[in-house]
Amino acid sequence: MYAVVTRLADFFAMLGGAILFVIVLVTTTNTGAFILDRIVGPFGLNVSGLPGYEDFVQLAISGAALMFFPFTQASRGHVAVDLFVANAPMPVKWLLDRMWLTLTAGVALFLAWWMVQGMLEVRSDAVEAGVLGWPIWPFYIPGIAAMILWAIVSVSQMFGDARYA
C-alpha cells in the first residue's frame, strides 16, 4: 500500500511540474510579446500579449503548488529537528514520529475540508475569472486531492515506512 501511495505522490508532483512548465511557457510567450511590442511599436505595429494571462497563471498555480506536498511528505522532505532526538531511545523517536505524522494528516484533512467549503461557496456564487470567464471552482479540485493524498501519505507512513522500526 505504501508503495502505491508513494507512486501516486510522485505522479502528483510530476503533474504539478508539468503545470508549472506550461505556466513558464505562457509567461515566456507573454513576456516575449511585450518585448516585441516595444521593439515594433515605433514602426506603427502592435503585438498584444495573451488575453487572460493573469487569470490563467493564478488559477493554474493555485493547484500546482499544492500538488508537491504529498511528494514532499513521501520523501520525508519536511523539516525535522533531529538535533533534539538524535540520542533519544528508539521508542521515543518512534512515538514522536507517529505523533507528527498524525498531526500532519490532521492538518492536511483540515485544509482539505476548508478548501471543499470554499469550493462549494465559489461554485454557488458562480465566481468566474475576470478576463477568461472560466469558472473558478474546478481549480480547487487538484488542491483538495493533493491535501487528501498528503494525509493518506502521512497515515501510510505510520504503517509502511520502516524509518523508526
pLDDT of residue 152: 95
d(CA 22, CA 3): 29
Name the H helices within 125-140.
none
Burial 43-71 (b: 16+ CB within 10 A, else e): eeeeeeeeebbebbbebbeebbebbbbbb
d(CA 112, CA 141): 10
**pLDDT score at 92:** 87
Q: What is the pLDDT of residue 81?
A: 65
Return d(Cα 58, Cα 76) in angstroms, integer. 28
Low-confidence ranges of the chain (pLDDT < 70): 78-83, 161-165
The whole-number pLDDT of residue 13 equals 95
Q: Rounded to whole angstroms, what are the CA distances from 115 to 66, 68, 82, 106, 152?
A: 12, 17, 32, 14, 17
